[in-house]
Amino acid sequence: MAPVTDSSTGVLDKHNKSGGSSIWTTLLSDTSTNSMNASLLLDKSVVVLGNDLSGKSVLTTKLQGLEKTHRGSALDFQAIEVQDEDVDESGLCRVWILDGHLAHRNLLDFALPKQMVSQSIALIVVDMSQPWNIPESLQKWINVVRDHIGHLGFSATELDAIKQQVETEFRCYTEPSETSTQAKVKSVLDQPTAISGELALSENLAMPLIVVCSKCDCMESLELDFDFKEEHFDFIQCYLRTFCLRYGASLVYTSMKENKNIEVLKKYILHKFYDFSFQNVASVVERDAVFIPSGWDSESKINILKDNLTKVNADDAFDSVIAKPPSTRLYVQEMKEVTADDEQAFLAKAQAALAKASVSSKPLQGSKPSKEERTGINPVGGVGGIAKPIKLDGKPGGASNERMLASFFNSLLNKTPAGGAAPLRTGKTPQKSRTATNKAGDTESNS
């Protein structure tokens, strides 16, 4: 009978004979593998989609518990730390943020490869500060997800299996009072053949979806600036819930500014991925903090909200109720870039302008000075050549004001300084002084 040997001892002896340098690496690897929670070893990914400026980067920053927002380009990669409090283990959940331009949608091949579809959640972010763009944004990114999964090359059998997984999770939803184990047992016993209601999960994309309505703190601004009423927000909620029910998606209203529902969203994602405990119930009462988990909503619940609409019809076209305002009233306005001149170039232009102004203001040789030049009074009431009306006591200056100013400046020109000094010469002899001199000369000659 062959002797029984300890495999671990054999491994140690082997490494000792080879030098023993890698023994510690092997021990650390075995320890981490045995102690790590198996569920946290699975690769999980959240793919964040949405238009530019919808709040994707800020939302991801809040989910990570960070303060400084990191904004990447094209396809950004980040991670959320996962902490299992029951077994005191941690891991990382991948987060991919796709740019809002459709030109970058091909980068989903890196964020969402074929083998990761069943291990990922698509998170579509829409902007409540501009609610008139919600339908276009939702349809745009739903099409991106559908087209991407379509070109991954799934066989019909593989695609049906993934869709069945999504449908099972949708049907297995229970209130937090029931445990997940009870829900699974209940689902197996019931074995429903179809989901109740024609609308519920009528379009299965083979991937879990979460619709996040961001910037819900802007509702008050919409009331003040665009005359939104309570029924407008009910209409928007009704539209979003109907859309989410059709695709089996969850709906979460968030506010990064007021930190609303951020922690709820994070816990819900980890619950979907790792089956962590989740005790938050659905909420539709607070208009800016709506939370509807996948599988909770139904057509009958949505009809309750529809019945409360009196001034608008829930079946009306979205743009007929939530009309897009003129572009001049939108929150995000186009900013034009202004380029400043170089300092030396600016000074050169200023010097040329001043030189040109001095040449044009120089009187022609031999010409008589005008009344305005003699008095320094502009015809429209300005002083020193500045054509600016003068106001006294809040009333525009008239002819009387001009005469007063002319008299004032003439008195300054003709006034003899104290001590008998001669008046200051300005290079031009005033017309009145020349006339007085001529008269004095004539008197002397006549005498």
Banded model confidence at residue 333, pLDDT cuts 50, 70, 90: very low
The pLDDT tens digits of the residues spanning 46-87 come to: 999 999 999 999 999 999 999 888 888 899 999 998 887 766
Does the pLDDT value for residue 203 go beyond 90?
yes
Banded model confidence at residue 435, pLDDT cuts 50, 70, 90: very low
Question: What is the model's pLDDT at position 204?
Answer: 96
Question: What is the model's pLDDT at position 341?
Answer: 78
Superfamily of domain 38-329: P-loop containing nucleotide triphosphate hydrolases (3.40.50.300)
Does the pLDDT value for residue 387 go beyond 90?
no
Does the pLDDT value for residue 436 go beyond 50?
no
State the SS3 of the chain. Answer: CCCCCCHHHHHHHHHHHCCCCCHHHHHHHHHHHHHCCHHHHCCCEEEEEECCCCCHHHHHHHHCCCCCCCCCCCEEEEEEEEEECCCCEEEEEEEEEECCCHHHHHHHHHHCCHHHHHHEEEEEEEECCCHHHHHHHHHHHHHHHHHHHHCCCCCHHHHHHHHHHHHHHHHCCCCCCCCHHHHHHHHHHHCCCCCCCCCCCCCCCCCCEEEEEECHHHHHHHHHHHCCCHHHHHHHHHHHHHHHHHHCCEEEECECCCCECHHHHHHHHHHHHHCCCCCCCCECCCCCCCEECCCCCCHHHHHHHHHCCCCCCCCCCHHHHCCCCCHHHCCCCCCCCCCCCCHHHHHHHHHHHHHHHHHHHCCCCCCCCCHHHHHCECCCCCECCCCCCCEECCEECCHHHHHHHHHHHHHHHHCCCCCCCCCCCCCCCCHHHHHHHHHHHHHHHHC
Mean pLDDT of the chain: 78
Banded model confidence at residue 343, pLDDT cuts 50, 70, 90: confident
Banded model confidence at residue 416, pLDDT cuts 50, 70, 90: low
Domain chopping of the chain, boundaries: 38-329, 370-409
Q: For the ranges 44-53, 121-130, 181-190, which has the lowest average pLDDT?
A: 181-190
Banded model confidence at residue 344, pLDDT cuts 50, 70, 90: confident
Question: Bigger pLDDT: 244 or 394?
Answer: 244
pTM: 0.65
Q: For the ranges 46-60, 130-144, 187-201, 306-320, which has the lowest average pLDDT?
A: 187-201
The pLDDT tens digits of the residues spanning 11-38 come to: 444 444 444 446 766 655 554 444 445 5
**Range 370-390 average pLDDT:** 48
